[in-house]
Amino acid sequence: MNAATAVEFDTELLELNARHRLDRVTLPLRGDEDVVGLRKQVRERAVAIGLSLVDQTKLVTAASELGRNTIKYGGGGACHLDKLADGFRNGIGLLFVDNGPGIPDLDLALRDGYTTGGGLGLGLSGSKRLVDEFDIDTRVGEGTAVAVVKWKR
């Protein structure tokens, strides 16, 4: 298992996902090319559960933003791709984990246009708008976990 999974994250959403998980694939995120691979894998799974084209695109775009964050700010890590079913609907869950420096001020990091990396500051805030569920667990000096879910409508 990747070292990035060592930190135990326990937000409400992450627990919820564990109960509804049918299947999990883990992809390492170390460099630019891994984000391209991640996008492809997320797209394939989104198509498989029948997400609409717009929802596929939103999920893949969120994956691209969050995967880049994991590499750029978290120093690399992994993404767990989960197939979810809660009894009523199917969905895709993505859990990004890293052992990076963590986010000292989460409210600030979630604000549109705020960036420490010279980007547009839309990665975190923008991704939140593209998915149905969004949760972050971050610990300074330990790492960050970001969980998102897109449900089939």
Residues 6+ away with beta carbon under 8 Å from 142: 7, 99, 102
Closest to other proteins by CB, 85 or 110: 110
39 binds other proteins (CB under 8 A): yes
47 binds other proteins (CB under 8 A): no
130 binds other proteins (CB under 8 A): yes
Residues 6+ away with beta carbon under 8 Å from 147: 11, 13, 14, 17, 93, 94, 95, 96, 133, 134, 135, 136
Which residue of 1, 19, 53, 87 would you call a contact of other proteins, by CB under 8 A?
A: 53
Taking the complex as a whole, how short is the minimal distance between the CB of residue 35 and other proteins, in angstroms?
A: 6
> 142, 98 in Cβ contact below 8 A?
no
56 binds other proteins (CB under 8 A): yes
Near other proteins by CB under 8 A, which window of 5-13, 18-26, 100-108, 114-122? 114-122
Closest to other proteins by CB, 56 or 99: 56
The kind and range of the H/E element at 141 are: none
113: left (phi > 0), else alpha (psi -120 to 50), else beta? Answer: left
28 binds other proteins (CB under 8 A): no
Q: Binders of other proteins among 60-79, rule CB under 8 A?
A: 60-61, 64-65, 68
DSSP assignment letter at 4: G
Closest to other proteins by CB, 14 or 46: 46
Closest to other proteins by CB, 55 or 82: 55
Phi, psi of 115 (to 5 degrees): -145, 145
139 binds other proteins (CB under 8 A): no
Bridge partners (DSSP) listed for residue 47: none
